[in-house]
Each structure stands twice: as structure tokens, then as C-alpha cells.
Structure 1
Amino acid sequence: MATASMGLIGVGTMGSALALNIAENGHDIALYNLAPSTIDDLINGAGELATRLTKTNSVAELVSAMPKPRAIILLVPAGAPVDMSIDALLPLLEGGDTIIDGGNSDFRETQARTKRVEDAGINYLGVGVSGGAEGARHGPSMMVGGSPSAWEPIRPVFEAIAAKHEGTPCVAHFGPDGAGHFVKTVHNGIEYADMQLIAEIYGLLRDGEGREPASIAPMFARWNDGILKSYLTEITSKILAAVDPETGKPVLDIIVDKAGQKGTGRWTVIEAIRMGQSASIIEAAVGARVLSSERDTRKVAAGILGTGALSAQSFDEDDLEAAFLAARILSYAQGFRILKAASDEFDWSLDFAQIAEVWREGCIIRSALLDDIATAFRSEMPEGRLILSDHFASILLEKMPALRRVVAQAVLSGLPVAALSSAISWFDEIRQARGTADMIQGQRDFFGAHSFLRLDKDGAHHGPWHAERS
């Protein structure tokens, strides 16, 4: 792709932003959208970049407007719209052309689409794009899956438009078919957890201490100057400080407390369970969003069961900081363990250090921890576990007492901390040399004759209860 001319189907918020990014980096791009006026609006507002944007009125016209070999990005909603776009493109494309799905697709669908498209002689890439509209416009973090031969011709364009960390593009090819979309899915799962942890800490101060949002903002701003520096910490301080111009009230006080979701957090939990991994912190975050949607029920329950803190509280801000740090580390650890399970199951050979580095800029979970995570994965770690690395184990040993104090105080005062408490439970379970599953195995054998292993003998065994009943 000497000229790197590209096409784009789906000129919504993300598509418009990415098109301008591509144009700004010196590449012409042909555009198609079901609503043509969206392209008109984009071109009319593009200034000098407008000359690099070409409006087309059909998929066939889009394909005809591009030199060979063609590379066409899909930024349409996940699911059926992706398949419809592929159906429209395949009869028009030729060998060497590439379809790039840049949406939040289920990685299992990407695996199936890769086979289908490649069987037709066309290249296919599934690319996770993180950073929202702002990232798409000025530099997203991108996670690529597909064949290396399909990736290499596209690579110069994607490296040019990607976010940069100290000059290094935050984009990488992670493996075949659905690898890129799976990495993006787990990214979003960690994002769910991080957002829920922040929301819970905010809730403790709002409902436990009765503090106004603006009084909480400086705490998050201070945290963002240290080890908790991250995009989400930064924007949280700004959201807390924001005032609604119409009412003069804090913006948070006028926002309806119902959180939406597009499925990637839920997919992370589902895939973790399928692969035999615990994603308890992420699951707590997904569950909290689900419960947030039941606003009418919560209002009725508040009248019957009571609401808010059982008594006035005063939380130590240093404890909250340490609690957030410990829980954030544990949520990253869960996410990377899910990535390891998928890498093993699908033979992807994921580079976990490289994943952490791609997430350092452009994406929603970019944080100061990611350099240390990359370093840890390039070092020897017991059992390959992030929390057992020298660096993170020492932090957890220091910070976990604060997390325990915060959660204990919250629980005793009747304030919800689903994700924070899940972090403690997971930490405590993983450090038990002898857990309690012996009881579960005994129960399974008692009612279902499933048998169990013994510590002192090889083979499968049954308990004495079977002999007593025979």
C-alpha cells in the first residue's frame, strides 16, 4: 500500500474522528455511510483536510474509488451490521484486499468471519480500538488480530494514527483471527472494574460523609499526581468539579444513576467462566451496572429497607488511596490471567508485556501501573502471576490492610462496595494454601458419587457414607 489509500464504512462519531485522523496523517480516505448527510457534515467541517475525504453513495462506489490493493475499515455496530457490510463487500473485492473490523465485535464472531472472508480470498483483520472519539481523532490504542501478511501492509498507516508513548506507537499485532478483539474485550472488562472502584469510593464519601462532589475532586487530582495516575483518575477529578450551567448544581447531582453497557464487560466475565478463570472484580462491576438499571425497584426498596449510611462516617483519604491501588492491581491481575487462559486455549502466544505497553496511551485504562506491569511480565514471576511478582506482591502486602479497613467500615455502615469487597475475597482465596473445596468435593461425592482425590493416596476415592448406605 504505497499510497495507503483507505476506505471507511460507518461515519458515526468514531468513524468521523478516525477518518480525520487518517486524513491528518496524509492519507486519502473514501467514505460510505447509510445516512449520506453525515459525510456531508464531516467534509464541511473538516477544513483543509476535506480534500482528502471522498464521499461515496454506495459500497460499490466506495470500492471503485480506491486503488488496489484496497483496505476498508468497518466502524459499524457489532453483530449483524458487520456481517451485512461483509456481504456487500465480498463480491466487489479482489485478492490482496483487506476488510478491517474496528468495532467492539465478539472475538468468537471475528474468528468465524476471518475464516469466511479468507476462504473467499480476502484478508481480514479484527482490530480493537480504544480511546473513544477523542482517541480515534488524536491517537487510539489499537489491538490487532489476523494474519501477519494482512497486517504488514496496513501497519504503517495504523502506526501513524495510533497514540504514542514516548514516540512508540500504541498498536500491535497480537495473533490470528480474534486475538485483537479478545484483548480489547478484556481491556473493557478491566475498564468496568476500574470505573466501579472509583464510583464506590465516591459513594463512600458522598453517602458516608455527606460530602459535595467539588470537595472530593481535589483528592482524585492529588492521586493523579502519584502511582494512581491514570486517565480515569484524571477525568474523575474533572467530573467531580464540574457545575451544570443551567442549574448551578454539581453535574453529578443531575445525572440519572443508571449506567449503560455495550456487552464487552459481560463478555469478559462469560469468557472467564468458560475458560475456568475468576473475574470476580469485573463480575461485581458488571453486576453493579445491571442493578443500577433497576432504579424503580431500588427506590421502592429504599423506602422499605432503609437507604444510605447507617451512621455518619469519616473515611481516611490515605486508606482510600491505598485501597484503590490494591484493588486496581488485583483487577489488572484478573484481566491478564484471562488473557493467559485464552492465549493457551487458542494458541495465540499473546505477549502480555506488549499488551500492557499498547495500553499506556490512547486507551481508557491507561495508567502509570502499566510500565511496571510490562516490566513484571518480562521478569520471572512465580506461577506467572502478576500479584506474585516482587514489585506487586510488596505493594499488596503494604496496601491490603487499608483495603480491609475501608471495606469493613463500608459494610458496617451499610454502604455498597461490591468491587472493593470482591478484590479482598479474591486476594484471600488465592493465598490459601489449603482452601475449602475439600468440603465441596465431599458434598459432590455424597449426593452424586463423583469421587474425590486423596492427599495420601493416588486414584479416585469415595467417602464412607457410600458404604453406610449400601
Structure 2
Amino acid sequence: MISDKQLSFGIIGLGTMGRNMLLNMADHEFAVAGYDKNTKQVQALYQEDLTGLTKGFSNITAFTQSFSGIRTIMLLVPAGKIVDAVLSELLPLLNKGDIIIDGGNSHFTDTERRYKDLEQKGFHFIGMGVSGGEEGARKGPSMMPGGDKKAYETIAPILRKIAAHVNAEPTVAFMGLGSAGHFVKMVHNGIEYAMMQLISETYELLKKGLQLHDDEIHNVFKNWNEGRLQSYLLEITTDIFAFKSTGESTLLLNDIKDEAKAKGTGKWTSQTAMDLTVPIPIIDIAVAFRDLSKYKSLRIETSKLYPNLKEVKYPGIAQEYLSHLEEAFYFSMVSAYSQGMHLLYQANITYKYELNLELIAKIWRGGCIIRAVFLKDIYAAYKKNPKLEHLFLDNSIKESLTKSIPAIRTIVSDAVQNGIAVPAFSASLSYFDGLRNDNMPANLIQAQRDYFGAHTYERIATEGIFHTDWLTQTNK
């Protein structure tokens, strides 16, 4: 049994994530403590710990008094009001100079507020995004801390030990000032939404378009995950297409209702991007289609009124068509990551976070939900040019993306002809075509705005701000 004075780190909230993080730390020979009002969670910690280096509490006062010297306490509780409630209960029990970490999925604006408030009160505060789910927390997550850099340097030895490692390098690094850590995690989750939507659309194309059986779809995802599309999300998708409940002959997947839930981080990404006027359409549509999935009864009613008037029939042989689909998936994957990284680039200017996009790509290569082989290319692009505004401008990515253009056009066109919704594939293509358009039709929008609202416009060859009385043909 460890003594209280040996304790070096504490976590409030012993649910799946909190408990597994503590067990991860104990595995690396750190003496740690956990607190939860629910005594069953405390008991579970003791039952699962094989090291004897954890200590559990169901009394918060006893928990805070169990440390010697400067305390480091992480909150792993649901985002929102609960975080503020826990802080209100915790702060009177701490000393100035103690370190507080919010390791949940807090909105970055809440983190910014808490960072300033706790700094004024004499506490060190870190907002840290944690990705990797239950397995990551236990075996090595990717962590995105931001806020108090001095405090990060104090706790970095622990975080580096428990993080996932890629090429012997830990997938944790200081993201930047203020709420930078939670902002980066929010964008991470936005990319996650986009990738999950892309995979689900691919599933529908394989099933309804190419009319493949479940075992054939499993093989497609398995093969893709062994090449340049390799990613954690494709890995778990492959597993899902092989999972049958005990005694059942069909996939569990086929018994799951097609209504997707969400916790809000994707929505936050879209809302923030709109505030910053950064287009991220593939993430926006991923959020929108999760929402659409919830209207099950409405979708059933509508499907009866608007059935397909012809049989879904795809051209050519399925195996030949799969190469087009793989290329289209690659194209859309590049678009999803590029839009997320562009949002980080612009947010860095607005919020002055001092983000390092190369470093972000580096720590996303392992431990997190969006880890993928392609992140090596992103890391290489920013390593080569730290000031790169958009990934589409990188020559290496340009070469591979260009090769995939015919395929994405084929996939989107055939899906439209056959009445299969592919909003993420379509959004990635439209975004690309819009971004490479050096003369958009937005001049007409400006003319319309000036016509009905006198919102003014700028001219191509003449400096200044102009307004036209469109009914009398007079310019001002």
C-alpha cells in the first residue's frame, strides 16, 4: 500500500476514461489518486489496479489532503456546468500554485474563461484535449494540452510516459496559449466527424451501389486499411464488419438502428468556423447528416413518396469500380484533413494561440481517433513549410490529389444518377472546385446585395467602395 505523501497526480472522475488514465500512470510507476462520489467507481479502480500504486477516494477533502507539495489534479468529467461545479467545490481545498487540468471535451470558450479566472486566483490551469477513447486512455492516448506553459513543463514527464509513441516519440506536446489545447481537440473531432461520414457513405455505395455482401465489404475495408488509407477508423470498421453476437449468423451492425448520436464537438467546429469565416463544408455536412439521421420516421414517410424510379445499377465490374472508389475516398480524406488544418491556421491568427501545425500533425499520428498513415504526409508538408496556409498548396499532396480527380468526379456523378446521397464526397469535390476557381460568381452576389440592401461593392480596376441605384442606373 502506498502512503499519501507519495501521491504525485490525481484525477477527479473515475469513469472509463479517468480510471484507465490512472491505471496507465500506475503501469508507468507513478503513484496516483482518484476521486469519485460514486463508491462503485472507486472500488472498480482498486479491482483493476495490479500495481498497488493507486489510491481511491469518495471524499473530496480526503482526496485533496492526500498529496504533499504542489498538487496536480485532472478533471475528467462531462463538459459544461459540471466542470464549473467541480471547480467550485475543489478550489477552496487547494493552495495557490496548484495545477488544475481539464481533460474533458470542454468548449474552448469555457476553457478561455476558466484559464483567466484561475490565473487571477493564483492557480495554474491547463485545458487538455485527450483522444483515443477507452483503449487510448489505458494504453496510450494522444494529448493536446494548452494554457499555462510553465505548468505543462511540470507535468510533461508524466504525460510523455503515458502517451502513445510513434517512432519512440510521445504523442503529446504543448499546443499553445489560453484555450489552444481544447481548440485543437475540437478541430480533431470535426475531422473525425467528416471521416466517419465518408466511411458510412462508402458503406452505402458498396452495399446499395455495387450490391456487395457484408463479407465482401469487410474485405474492401480490410484491403484499404493495409495501404495508404490505413487509419484507426478504417481498422475498427473492418472489425465491425466481422462481428457477430454469440449464436447469431448475421452481423450485429445490421441490428443497429440508423440514428447517429453526437456530443456536440462537431457542431462546435462548424459554428466556430463560421464565426471565423473559414469554409469547412465536409465537416458541416457530416454534422448535418448526423442530425438528419435522427428523423427516422420522417425519412420513412418521405421514402414512400419519393422512391427510386429505376433500379440502382452501377457501370462495369465491381472489382474494377472499387479502384475508383478508393481514389475518391483518398481525395475526400485529404480534403477533410486540409479543411481542419486550414481552420487551425486561421484560428491561430485570430486567437494568437502560437499553434505549431507541424507539431499537431506529429502528435495526431498515434493514439488518437483520427490517426492515419496520411498524417505522415501532413507532418512532412508542415515540416517543409511551417507557414503553409493550406495543404492543397503542398507539391507532394498536389501530385497525389491530382491523380484522384477523375475518380472523385466519377463516384459523385454515378451516385447522383442512382439516387444515392454522398454529401461528404460531394462537399469535398465542390470545395476543391471552388478553391481552385480564381474567378468565382460571387460578384453577382455582391451586385444582388447592393441592389436590395445598398450593401456596396468593390470594383476590379478601380479602388474604393461603390453603390449603384440599380433602378435609375446611377453610380455613387
Verify same fold: TM over 0.5: yes
Counterpart residue number, 2:184: 183
Q: Offset of 1:220 from its aligned partner?
A: 1.3
Q: Offset of 1:72 from its aligned partner?
A: 0.5
Q: Does 1:40 align with 2:56?
A: no
| One-letter code aligned to 2:86 | S
Counterpart residue number, 2:402: 397
Q: Does 1:248 align with 2:249?
A: yes
Q: Secondary structure of the residue that 1:143 maps to in structure 2? A: strand
The equivalent position to 1:356 in structure 2, one of 319, 336, 361, is 361
Q: Does 1:124 align with 2:132?
A: no
Q: Secondary structure of the residue that 2:146 maps to in structure 1? A: strand
| One-letter code aligned to 1:424 | L
Q: Which runs of 5+ in 2 are unaligned?
A: none
| One-letter code aligned to 2:342 | R
Written as runs of structure 1 = structure 2, the 5 A alignment for 1:47-446 is 48-49=50-51, 51-306=52-307, 310-313=311-314, 316-380=321-385, 384-446=389-451
In 1, Cα distance between the equivalents of 2:224 and 2:54? 42
Q: Does 1:28 align with 2:31?
A: yes
In 2, Cα distance between the equivalents of 1:384 and 1:8? 38
Q: Offset of 1:462 from its aligned partner?
A: 2.3
| One-letter code aligned to 1:325 | Y
CA offset digits 1:118-172 (Å, max 9, x no partner): 1111111000000000000000000011111111110000000000001100001
| One-letter code aligned to 1:19 | L
405-414 vs 229-238, greater mean Cα deviation = 229-238
With the length of structure 1 as denominator, give the TM-score of the two structures: 0.96
In 1, Cα distance between the equivalents of 2:39 and 2:366? 33
| One-letter code aligned to 1:412 | Q
Q: Secondary structure of the residue that 1:173 maps to in structure 2? A: coil
| Contact 1:189 1:282 (C-alpha < 8 Å) held by counterparts | yes
Q: Secondary structure of the residue that 2:151 maps to in structure 1? A: helix
- Output the aligned Cα RMSD: 1.7
CA offset digits 1:429-470 (Å, max 9, x no partner): 000010011000000111111111111111011236154489
| Contact 1:319 1:405 (C-alpha < 8 Å) held by counterparts | yes
Q: Offset of 1:392 from its aligned partner?
A: 0.8
Q: Secondary structure of the residue that 1:245 maps to in structure 2? A: coil
Q: Offset of 1:54 from its aligned partner?
A: 1.0
| Contact 2:225 2:235 (C-alpha < 8 Å) held by counterparts | yes
- Count of residues paired in the alignment: 467
| Contact 1:208 1:308 (C-alpha < 8 Å) held by counterparts | no
Q: Structure 2 vs 1, CA of residues 381 and 45 (structure 1 numbering), >3 Å: closer, same or farther?
A: closer
In 2, Cα distance between the equivalents of 1:333 and 1:41? 42
| One-letter code aligned to 1:254 | D
Counterpart residue number, 1:5: 8
| Contact 1:376 1:389 (C-alpha < 8 Å) held by counterparts | yes
CA offset digits 1:179-202 (Å, max 9, x no partner): 000000000000000111011011
Using the aligned pairs only, state the percent identity: 39
| Contact 1:284 1:422 (C-alpha < 8 Å) held by counterparts | yes
Q: Structure 2 vs 1, CA of residues 363 and 381 (structure 1 numbering), >3 Å: closer, same or farther?
A: closer
In 2, Cα distance between the equivalents of 1:411 and 1:364? 30
| One-letter code aligned to 2:442 | A
Q: Secondary structure of the residue that 2:365 maps to in structure 1? A: coil
Q: Secondary structure of the residue that 2:272 maps to in structure 1? A: helix
Q: Offset of 1:388 from its aligned partner?
A: 1.3
| Contact 1:333 1:387 (C-alpha < 8 Å) held by counterparts | yes
Q: Any runs of at least 4 consecutive aligned residues in structure 1 with deviations exceeding 6 A, and if so which?
A: none
Q: Structure 2 vs 1, CA of residues 307 and 84 (structure 1 numbering), >3 Å: closer, same or farther?
A: farther
| One-letter code aligned to 1:433 | D
| Contact 1:8 1:19 (C-alpha < 8 Å) held by counterparts | yes
Q: Which runs of 5+ in 1 are unaligned?
A: none
| Contact 1:188 1:264 (C-alpha < 8 Å) held by counterparts | yes
In 2, Cα distance between the equivalents of 1:33 and 1:453? 60
| One-letter code aligned to 1:33 | D
In 1, Cα distance between the equivalents of 2:210 and 2:166? 39
| One-letter code aligned to 1:61 | A
| Contact 1:382 1:389 (C-alpha < 8 Å) held by counterparts | no
With the length of structure 2 as denominator, give the TM-score of the two structures: 0.95
Q: Offset of 1:210 from its aligned partner?
A: 2.6
Q: Offset of 1:261 from its aligned partner?
A: 0.7
| Contact 2:451 2:469 (C-alpha < 8 Å) held by counterparts | no
In 2, Cα distance between the equivalents of 1:411 and 1:455? 37
| Contact 1:244 1:251 (C-alpha < 8 Å) held by counterparts | yes
Q: Offset of 1:4 from its aligned partner?
A: 6.8
In 1, Cα distance between the equivalents of 2:196 and 2:454? 44
Q: Offset of 1:382 from its aligned partner?
A: 9.3
